[in-house]
Structure 1
Amino acid sequence: MGVGTGLRHPAASTDSTPAPEIHRPSAGLPWLIAVAVIPLLIAGIGYGAFDQPRPAHGAGGPAPAASSTSTAPKLSLAPLSITRIGNDVTLVGGFPDDSAKAALLNAVKGSLPPGVNVIDQIHINPNIDALDFAKAAPIFKDSASIPDFSLVVNGDTITLAGTAASPDQKNAVSQEAARTWSTLKVVDKLVVTGPVPPPVPPAAGQCADLQSAINAVTGGPITFANDGFSLTPADNQILIQVSGRLKACPAAHVAINGFSDNSGVEAINISLSSQRAQRVADFLVANGVAGTVLVVKGLGSVNPVAPNDTVDGRAKNRRVEIVVS
């Protein structure tokens, strides 16, 4: 036999204990379902924690409401004056459209007694806000017997003036105005002194001093804003009184002289001063003064009444003078 043939080698001995065999169960269906579902549950919890709608208030209580620090702008209505002197009612001002103007005319004309004339100096400007007269007829009905009644609109204020026949009439007009325009300020300057007699035409001697009478009414020249030739409600009130004096003295001849400050080009100043004078003349004619007695002149920056190197001085030089000849 060859060497080693048929020999059995003994098993190798060792001091270590054989590692026990570990038995792992095979992954069954329940285990696979758990592996798939658990991540979905975790994702759902995360979504609920981080993506749920936020509460309307914080931990310290309700969140402060957003407060608006801005206030509503003050209402500024277009200037308007309604003035009655005897049998003439003069309307001066602006409305945004014909329907708004018609509301005023309907309220006034529908309330006046026969023989009272309405002088319409209303213009249309779509860019303005104006007082609404749609429900104002009762005001003019209550004031129909007041021969010097006036209603003036300036900004957010309505001023009533005139001579009421009794406290009841005064209160009726004022309360009706406050009811009609409840969101505006109504200033009641109506007085009660009994019926006002119609104005007495001046005697011939008074026409001889007509210039002084006009100066007393105007208190000086009619002044204008820079680059402007519009009349204010206060100007209208003055010129209505001037027209009454001129109509009482039909033989008088009057120069309406317009002036400007010395800003800019003199040719423009002359044109602007002429427009100012013409605006005054047009108003007088609309109130019954014969146009043939008026001479309109635009004189530019000549004959200043104040220094042109100050704002106040330039304002005084933008003027119209009414000169009786």
Structure 2
Amino acid sequence: RGQGQAAVLARRPRALLRLAPPDLHAQAPEVRRGRGRGRHQLLRRGQLVRGGQLPGVAGMGWGRWYELEELEAATGGFREANVVGEGGYGTVYRGVLAGGEVVAVKNLFDHKGQAEQEFKVEVEAIGRVRHKHLAGLIGYCAEGPKRMLVYEFVENGNLEQWLHGDVGPVSPLTWEIRLKIAIGTAKGIAYLHEGLEPKVVHRDIKSSNILLDKKWNPKVSDFGMAKVLGSGSSYVTTRVMGTFGYVAPEYASTGMLNESSDIYSFGVLLMELISGRSPVDYNRPAGEVNLVEWFRGMVGSRRVEDLADPRIVPAPAPRVLNRVLLVCLRCIDSDAHKRPKMGQIVHMLEGDEFPFRTVR
């Protein structure tokens, strides 16, 4: 339970998880109120934020600074029963704040300053960002060496679980739901690329980083690898990071990163939504291991109808399927300059206005 968000926040290795309905009535941890937290404590909190003791955080005018004591109370003293995920970057706990709000608390490991770096990246990239299709970073805690991030809790797991978990012969993800997830995800990424200055490149778009609420609304999450692209910069050179199968080939070979890298990754995600297949699956026959190569081969041999996940009931209409397939092909164009912008992709997915042709 809560494993979807856990996989995102803690960056656990990719795995196929057996789905279990979220327990919305789980017993909340007892909230203990500390004593002696009057005016002195409130002033100390205010002084910490206003005094500029947190470089890159102070004065940003967003979110809330939480005391360690508050997050200890919310998670029952970081009780093991409240752990919803663990990974190389930290442990994620389900917590209930004093006001009753359910949150996800990411407690960062401090390996040679790694916690501080991860903390700054996420706070600086999305601290002030508010968008319905981006997972909200509510606040943070920084006391001594401790670095924690507090996120909204999204209760319906992640897309990877619903696509690749044990859901039976008919997927709960109908074609309409898959299209809704694709469009919402595209809108979230478009906001990062086109709605912010400076723009943000996510750098790790993948199905396990797409959280879903109870109405199947997607929220892009995990900005720990995000890069800010300064005004006037067309790219940034950086150490290659991401998830195998989703990384754009030109970024993998040169380390030159810009928005088109996210667009390639989104194209792979879109193929995953259409086909129900993982980007890389070594259990498949030769020629089908790599999703992008298999996808291109199927289009080239005019077997478009066989691309759709057989668990989608009813099957998508050919015209609509063709429209989404065309978007996929444009997103994974080997020439990064020919890939569409995310705003264009949203329009392509939402309607029939853009020039239509049959995939051949």
Normalised by the size of structure 1, how large is the TM-score? 0.27
Q: Which structure is larger by alpha-carbon Rg, 1 or 2?
A: 1
Higher relative contact order (CA 8 A, sep 6+): 2
Report the structure, 1 or 2, having the larger strand content: 1
